[in-house]
Amino acid sequence: MLEEEYQLDYFKEQGMVRKICRSCGSAFWTRDSAREICGDAPCEPYNFIGEPVFKTHNLDTMREAYLSFFEKQGHTRIERYPVAARWRDDIYLTIASIADFQPFVTSGIVPPPANPLTISQPCIRLNDLDSVGRSGRHLTTFEMMAHHAFNTPSEEIYWKDRTVELCDQFIASIGGDLNKVTFKESPWIGGGNAGPSVEVLIGGLEIATLVFMSLGRKKTDQPGYDLKGEMYYPMKLRIVDTGYGLERLVWASKGSPTIYDAVFPEMVSHVMGAAGLSHMLDNKDYTRILSLNAKFAGLMDISGTNLFQLRKKVAAAIDISPEKLDRIITPMEKVYATVDHTRCLAYMLGDCIVPSNVREGYLARLVIRRTLRMLTDLRIDEPLADLIEQQTRIIGMKKFEQDISVVREIAERETEKYASTLERGTRIVQKIAKTYKAKSQRVPLSEIITLYDSHGIQPEMIKDIATKEGAVVDLPDNFYSMVADMHSESKKEAEVDTKAKYDERVQGLPPTKKLYYEQSSDIEFEAVVLDFFDGYAVTDQTLFYPEGGGQPADTGTMVSAESMVRVDDVIKVGEVILHHISGGILQRGDRVKGMVDEERRWSLMRHHTATHIILHAAKEVLGAHIHQAGAQKGAESSRMDLRHFKHITPDELRRIETAANRLIMANQQVEISTEDRTRAEQKYGFSLYQGGVPPGRDLRIVKVAGDIEACAGTHCRSTGEVGVIKIIRVEHIQDGIERIEFTAGIAAIYYMQHLEQIVTSSAEALSVQPDNLPATVNRFFSEWKDQKKEIERMSSKVVELEMQSLVAESMDGISVVIKRVDLPQKELAQLASSVSENGGIALLAGVGETVRVVLASGDSRVNAGEIIGQVCSLLGGKGGGKPTMAQGGGPDVGQIDLALKVGRERIIAALQE
RNA sequence: GGGCUCGUAGAUCAGGGGUAGAUCGUCACGUUUGCAACGUGAAGGCCACGGGUUCAAAUCCCGUCGAGUCCA
């Protein structure tokens, strides 16, 4: 990035100078002309530890200081967004304040909720999970405080100078000494955008980043910049994207040894107490160790083997052995990590993430299990649910949507679930360890990878258990990266966006007037064809609903003066609606009469309205946390996926169905209005976005029976028009997601008639009244089982009887039975083996549809497996088995006597060898 | 969204083409004042479901359903 980007008037007015760091060579601005170091790690240590650089604040007071400062400076305060980024499909968790405004606001499609604005956004980043607790500064959850300004060609809010000035003023307002502040030039690239940026440093700590997002990947007529091999071009929209670390500011204001002691002191001392560690912060030696540890950690990246390096350095500085240091500090690190993780979970679960094995649910489970392991290591009995609840109380109950009792239940269920996984894992490992011990081999790496990958057993745990069993396990240092390598082999195919290719064609066309919203019960309209290409007709207005929001497109016909065509698909590209037609063509300028297939449209509207009703009913029955995780409406049936942490029981399902139908019978008006996005979000909350986040300045708000959503679909005018809802089934799609399949209106009637038909025909088949069907079926099944057993008893009787009638001949002192016995294979085998058990030999053949042959040998000279093959080949079949017992058969019934004769000869021959 | 593992008796699991097994639990009888323990015996299996391959499938192949787990 060009140097002149940083030549701000503000810097110059303030008498600041641009210097080059003696240590790292980066450029930075400072008021202190004697300064030679940029102020960033690793060039400068954390010298604020023990020497706070701001007036003391806790999280709440610092946040308020920040937000109210920027409010006074003309910014509008915006409520935080959830930590689960449900409005985005590229990330699961909110990772920065700017993430709230991506992609619609930052791309200029949607205006920001306010401009300029200020916000304190809780963010979760799990990429440095290993460092949390150890480094003294890493957190999974932090609040990114920000002031954002969105500059357009027509409206300039403020840009670099004012941003830096505001930053200075804020730092001064919390007691920071501006002479100690440095601004380090640090060009920023990320997520397809780029721009100049400065890091704001004080006391060795980076407390904020001021990003001036002004470049994008999209080519414009202005000259571009080559940044790390990619071209970036100036954008129309220039965004001030700042990020101030709330926790870091609090840390710097307290100067405590670690960030953890600064931001959640109550929880740290609580967890230390629970772990039986005396509160070490009262002990000066411990504080010194912690401070040193944090200072050194600040200077290095401590992932993997670097941890040992850190220990060595700190140990050398305080003159104890690294091992002793490790014993002192490891429990502390686990306490810190536990406190951090439980806070993270308070946010995750409080913001309605349901733990599961996919998507953000997996991330929640990952954190839960890490925490449970640490609680075990620290020998803390206190339930995870209690710790999360305390964190929730500290943050503030009111900040969360999810009910605390549900959060607790989820935590308890997850704890149990993990316990049973561990139990199962232990058994599997013991088994495998025994196997390899018996073979006196080491447990191979492939087994360990399978155990981890498929059963979720941590390698360290495998080693512990296997060692107890006496088996040898080698664990490579790079175990996890080996597993990762294995996974990276599978690649994703890029999705082809069919709509994208019409983008340009459509740009010259006016937005299509959407009649289906105003006149949702009409089916006929007139329009003028504005364009026709690729089988798609664009008209000035339409009643045809385009595919969207899980609702399929309408179908119907269009009639012009010359032709009549079928409309078989309708899509929306931007604000223009494209009708795909077949059976003819239309021309630009044609006047057409459109007719929507009435029954289909009504069915879709009923199903769509029913989706809202069921969602509301499910909330009533299952709890306020119920969220839609996806939905597909159809003309015959529809389905809706719900986020829920346990199986929906048949009884709950019936209650949902009943509640839904009561809502229909209440026949309330469906209210549809257009409201300002920001106001709607504040009024109704983010539960508006059940089916994703629609773009645009305004939202179309649909209220159905107490359910309020931003929804673009077509709906009935009142709940009564839905007619009836019949739930077909509930399926468990994944951990944490239940799918309800249902049908509405006439389709529901057809479905119930179909069910009735099934019952009637089943009852007829058994000649009973439908009411008696369950009892009769049960009776039949148990009778069938009884008879099966009876047959078994009988056949063993038959075997016994046959045994008595078998005449054994003696060959070479061995009793041999060769006979045709017409019994099924199983009985023949029983019969034969009872002969061979006494050292004899039995060759038995029975005729059913084909010939079945069994040869059992109690004499080592006679190999049953070899002889049976020759016998069976005479019968036109094959056979085989073990030396002691062989079975086979063939289709040539007529050859049975010959086959037995040959068998006899072979047995005699074998005995004489 | 992708990968992997697993579905066998009430529970936990062996068996991995050739007669369905073990341990615990249950029941009965015996020993015992009673319990525990022990002994003897019994009951208990659509080997998840549906196809296919084979003379023969719990076992191999394909699909479905269910459970678990790793990763993005």
A425 CB-to-strand B distance under 7 Å: no
A439 CB-to-strand B distance under 7 Å: no
* A844: pLDDT strictly greater than 80: yes
Give, as one character, the DSSP assignment of residue A26: -
| Residue range A792-806, pLDDT digits in tens | 777 777 777 887 777
Q: What integer pLDDT is reported at residue A497 of this predicted model?
A: 54
Mean pLDDT value of segment A48-71:
94
Q: What is the C-alpha separation between A228 and A219, in angstroms, rounded?
A: 17
- Is residue A537 domain-shared with residue A572, that is, in the same domain? yes
Q: What integer pLDDT is reported at residue A486 of this predicted model?
A: 65
* A281: pLDDT strictly greater than 70: no
Give, in Å, how far the C1' of B12 lies from the CA of A418: 18
A301 domain residue, yes or no: no
Mean pLDDT value of segment A677-691:
77
Band of residue A116 on the pLDDT scale cut at 50, 70, 90: very high
Mean pLDDT value of segment A853-870:
86
Give, in Å, how far the C1' of B69 lies from the CA of A412: 20
Domain boundary among A596, A616, A631: A596
A419 CB-to-strand B distance under 7 Å: no
- Hits for CB < 7 Å against strand B across A residues 813-842: 826, 829-830, 833, 836-837
* A495: pLDDT strictly greater than 80: no
A877 CB-to-strand B distance under 7 Å: yes
- Hits for CB < 7 Å against strand B across A residues 343-372: 357-359, 362, 365-366, 369
A294 domain residue, yes or no: no
A45 domain residue, yes or no: yes
CATH number of the domain where residue A206 is located: 3.30.930.10
Strand A814-820 relative to strand A841-847, pairing? parallel
Give, in Å, how far the C1' of B22 lies from the CA of A469: 21
- Is residue A680 domain-shared with residue A727, that is, in the same domain? yes
Q: What is the C-alpha separation between A325 and A300, in angstroms, rounded?
A: 18
Give, in Å, how far the C1' of B31 lies from the CA of A435: 40
A313 domain residue, yes or no: no
Helix (H, G, I), strand (E, B) or coil at A92: coil
Q: Which nucleotide is nearest to A851 (CA to C1')?
A: B55
Q: What integer pLDDT is reported at residue A819 of this predicted model?
A: 87
- Is residue A571 domain-shared with residue A615, that is, in the same domain? no
Domain count, chain A: 5
A911 CB-to-strand B distance under 7 Å: no
A752 domain residue, yes or no: yes
Q: Which nucleotide is nearest to A457 (CA to C1')?
A: B69
A178 domain residue, yes or no: yes
Q: What integer pLDDT is reported at residue A490 of this predicted model?
A: 43
Band of residue A791 on the pLDDT scale cut at 50, 70, 90: confident
Helix axes A384-395, A322-350, angle to 10 degrees: 70
- Is residue A459 domain-shared with residue A535, that is, in the same domain? no
Give, as one character, the DSSP assignment of residue A80: P
Domain boundary among A546, A580, A596: A596
Q: What integer pLDDT is reported at residue A295 of this predicted model?
A: 74
H/E segment holding residue A166 = helix A160-173
Q: Taking Cα atoms as reference points, which of A560, A638, A639, A569 lies closest to residue A593?
A: A560
A287 domain residue, yes or no: no
Q: What integer pLDDT is reported at residue A493 of this predicted model?
A: 40
- Is residue A48 domain-shared with residue A120, that is, in the same domain? yes
Band of residue A596 on the pLDDT scale cut at 50, 70, 90: very high
- Is residue A884 domain-shared with residue A832, that is, in the same domain? yes
Q: What integer pLDDT is reported at residue A512 of this predicted model?
A: 92
- Is residue A623 domain-shared with residue A565, that is, in the same domain? no
pLDDT: which is higher, A66 or A102 = A66
Strand partners, A888: A853, A879
Geometric angle at alpha carbon A844, from A841 and A850, rounded to 5°: 155
Write out the residue range of the structural domain in which residue A689 sits: 603-757
| Residue range A182-238, pLDDT digits in tens | 999 998 887 778 899 999 999 999 999 999 999 888 887 888 888 777 888 888 899
Mean pLDDT value of segment A740-755:
88
CATH number of the domain where residue A717 is located: 3.30.980.10
No. of H helices and E strands in chain A? 25, 35
Give, in Å, how far the C1' of B1 lies from the CA of A348: 22
Q: What integer pLDDT is reported at residue A659 of this predicted model?
A: 95
Strand partners, A557: A566, A595
Mean pLDDT value of segment A747-775:
83
- Hits for CB < 7 Å against strand B across A residues 648-677: none
Q: What integer pLDDT is reported at residue A492 of this predicted model?
A: 39
Q: What integer pLDDT is reported at residue A279 of this predicted model?
A: 61
Q: What integer pLDDT is reported at residue A487 of this predicted model?
A: 61
Q: What integer pLDDT is reported at residue A642 of this predicted model?
A: 86
| Residue range A620-642, pLDDT digits in tens | 888 777 888 778 787 778 888 88
A302 domain residue, yes or no: no
- Is residue A663 domain-shared with residue A752, that is, in the same domain? yes
Mean pLDDT value of segment A539-560:
88
- Could you report the predicted ipTM of this complex, rounded to two decimals? 0.80
- Hits for CB < 7 Å against strand B across A residues 2-21: none
* A476: pLDDT strictly greater than 80: no
Mean pLDDT value of segment A440-466:
83
Q: Which nucleotide is nearest to A358 (CA to C1')?
A: B1
Q: Using CB atoms within 10 Å of the CB of residue A154, give its burial: 0 to 12 exposed, 13 to 18 middle, 19+ buried.
A: exposed
Q: What integer pLDDT is reported at residue A494 of this predicted model?
A: 39
Q: Which nucleotide is nearest to A869 (CA to C1')?
A: B55
pLDDT: which is higher, A692 or A474 = A474
Q: Which nucleotide is nearest to A830 (CA to C1')?
A: B19
CATH number of the domain where residue A893 is located: 3.10.310.40
- Is residue A158 domain-shared with residue A181, that is, in the same domain? yes
Q: What integer pLDDT is reported at residue A703 of this predicted model?
A: 93
Helix (H, G, I), strand (E, B) or coil at A495: coil
Q: What integer pLDDT is reported at residue A30 of this predicted model?
A: 94
- Is residue A93 domain-shared with residue A209, that is, in the same domain? yes
Mean pLDDT value of segment A90-108:
85
Q: Which nucleotide is nearest to A456 (CA to C1')?
A: B69
- Is residue A635 domain-shared with residue A567, that is, in the same domain? no
Maximum CA extent, chain A: 120
pLDDT: which is higher, A888 or A499 = A888
Q: What integer pLDDT is reported at residue A714 of this predicted model?
A: 86
| Residue range A373-384, pLDDT digits in tens | 899 989 998 999
Q: What is the C-alpha separation between A272 and A280, in angstroms, rounded?
A: 9
Q: Which two tokens stand for residue A22?
A: 């003696």
Strand B bases within 7 angstroms of protein beta carbons = 1-5, 12-14, 18-20, 44-46, 54-56, 65-72
H/E segment holding residue A426 = helix A404-438
A809 CB-to-strand B distance under 7 Å: no
Residue A697 neighbours by CB distance under 10 Å:
12
Band of residue A170 on the pLDDT scale cut at 50, 70, 90: very high
Mean pLDDT value of segment A666-693:
82
Mean pLDDT value of segment A390-419:
90
* A45: pLDDT strictly greater than 90: no
A888 CB-to-strand B distance under 7 Å: yes
Domain boundary among A206, A228, A261: A261
Q: What percent of chain A has pLDDT over 70?
A: 96
**What average pLDDT is seen over chain A?**
86
- Is residue A592 domain-shared with residue A609, that is, in the same domain? no
Residue A119 neighbours by CB distance under 10 Å:
26
CB A245 within 8 A of CB A160: no
| Residue range A693-706, pLDDT digits in tens | 777 778 889 999 88
